[in-house]
A and B are shown apart, each in its own frame.
Chain A
Amino acid sequence: MSATTAADPSAQTLASLIDILKPFNKTGANLKAETSFTEDLNFDSLVVMEFVAVVEDVFDISIPLNILPDVATVRDLAVAIEKIVGESRP
């Protein structure tokens, strides 16, 4: 899930994610691809779960809990989402 090895996510996925993030942005962080969920947004495990649930609804996917430890930034999550969306296509 590292940003250096995975393909860059589309601008559209990033933009949707940043849109979803807005109500969760309690630290007033600058929301961009490099924004870190724990360091910039101070997400605790509970907020992560709430946020992931909204992302799942918007993208109509299931995000396995197993991948979350590898997701540090908005970009990481965007890459993971595109991988899941790609796999679910026939």
Chain B
Amino acid sequence: MADLFDRFAPLMAQRDALLGDGGANPFQVKMDEVLSQTEAMIEGRKTILVGTNNYLGLTFAPEALQAARAALDACGTGTTGSRVANGTYSGHQDLETALCDFFGKDHAMVFSTGFLANLGVLSTLMGADDYILMDADCHASIYDGVRGSQAQIIRFKHNDAADLDKRLARLADKPGNKLIVIEGIYSMLGDKAPLKEFVAVKKKYENVYLLSDEAHSLGVLGRYGRGLPEEAGCEDDVDFIVGTFSKSVGTVGGFCVSNHPKFDTLRLVCRAYVFTASLPPSVVASAAVNLKLIQRGGALRTRLMRNAAQLHAGLSGLGLKIASDVSPVVAVVAPDPQVAVQFWRGLIANGVYVNLALPPATPFGFSLLRASLCAAHTEQQLDAVIAVFAKVAAEIGLIAPAKRKRIAAG
């Protein structure tokens, strides 16, 4: 009889071939002590963190810490139940009101994680006669969400409005509703959706809705941090915004906001909302405070984008291949998984933490050293990060020593 886990044997063999030599394991990094938003002790070394998705550095915002402590003392460590079955705390409703205010939308629902928000909304929103058209590069939570839906699931080419148009045209005479699913900023490469083009395509057809996952763009894009729809000037054309509190909001949790008059129906039919415990009150309190800091966080966004520009210019100046234009995600493309692991190990040994991302979790089969910037990074920290990238890239033969010398001299 085959063992339960035998079907994963090829994957585990692949992992052993790549990481089984006893060197540092990129998927088991332990931060023994968190020193700040941008530094931690790893293996006894003070390490610069450039892979946290903590875009605005709000994890230690004094106002949020204070609100979280007060909620912890007042309401305890957890709600121990679902809002539907076990009751709602007032803080959860306050957070939903704060989300409505932040986005200027009529309705908001808070989920226990961003993953659950996608899972819940996407598995529930569309019925058996409907169609979901999703960008091929969407996050795993979107793939898992649509898999739970009764609707027909169609993928269109990443960021390709013409391909979406073609697929909607084929469905034009089908009676069902259609839902387009995209992301504001894609997590692996940091590239943005051409939202205006997608909206133009959406408007050509009847009964088409648009959902955007703003996980990596909330707090990052737009004058008030409302994400790509704000930046692109088409907030009224995005029917549903899904997001997370675990990146720029600096805690954990997920949400969906919408102007649809019957949106609250989801509170009864969305299993990922009904059948799971709600967020701890301290988390909810810090999220509400940080949303306000994000709204007036123009200076943080300016620092974040300045940091993104510095790292992008520094790394591409070394001759490294960066997967996208300037963005809070700077993904360096390595030629193959072996080199990527070697590169990652060199960086961590020199006190720089980035994410290692390998296929199939990456588009184009890319092997990536994925860095994400924080508004709290200093220019000196990023200079140090760039110097470490230069040293390691030269050591493993990814860039020519001549280029390295020129950079060092400059």
- Which A residues are within 8 Å of any B CB, using their own CB? 44-46, 49, 53, 60-66, 88, 90
Contact = CB atoms under 8 A, between A and B. Distances in A.
A85 to B, nearest CB: 11
B153 A64 contact: yes
B120 to A, nearest CB: 19
Contacts of A46: 359-360, 365
Contacts of A63: 154
Contacts of B153: 64-66
A4 B170 CA distance: 29
A62 B360 contact: no
23 contacts: A45-B360, A46-B359, A46-B360, A46-B365, A49-B136, A49-B155, A53-B136, A60-B166, A61-B170, A62-B154, A62-B167, A62-B170, A62-B171, A63-B154, A64-B154, A65-B146, A65-B147, A65-B153, A65-B154, A65-B155, A66-B152, A88-B170, A90-B173
Interface residues of B, number: 16
Contacts of B136: 49, 53
Contacts of B154: 62-65
B360 A64 contact: no
A45 B10 CA distance: 14
Nearest to B360: A46
B157 interface: yes
Contacts of A49: 136, 155
A9 to B, nearest CB: 20
Nearest to A52: B155
Nearest to A50: B365
Contact of A44 (B155, B166, B170, B360): B360
Interface of B: 136, 146-147, 152-155, 157, 166-167, 170-171, 173, 359-360, 365
A4 B272 CA distance: 39
Given A45-B360, A46-B365, A65-B146, A53 B157 contact: yes
Contacts of A90: 173
Given A53-B136, A66-B152, 9 more contacts: A44-B360, A46-B359, A49-B136, A49-B155, A53-B155, A53-B157, A64-B154, A65-B153, A65-B155
A64 B170 contact: no
Nearest to B134: A65
Contacts of B360: 44-46
A63 B146 CA distance: 15
A62 B154 CA distance: 7
Contacts of B147: 65
A65 to B, nearest CB: 4
A66 B153 CA distance: 6
A88 B173 CA distance: 9
A60 B147 CA distance: 24
A45 B146 CA distance: 16
A34 B173 CA distance: 35
Contacts of A88: 170
A44 B365 CA distance: 13
Contacts of B359: 46
Contacts of B155: 49, 53, 65
A61 B170 CA distance: 8
Contacts of A61: 170
A73 B147 CA distance: 22
Nearest to A88: B170
A60 B152 CA distance: 17
B8 to A, nearest CB: 12
Contacts of A44: 360
A88 B154 CA distance: 15
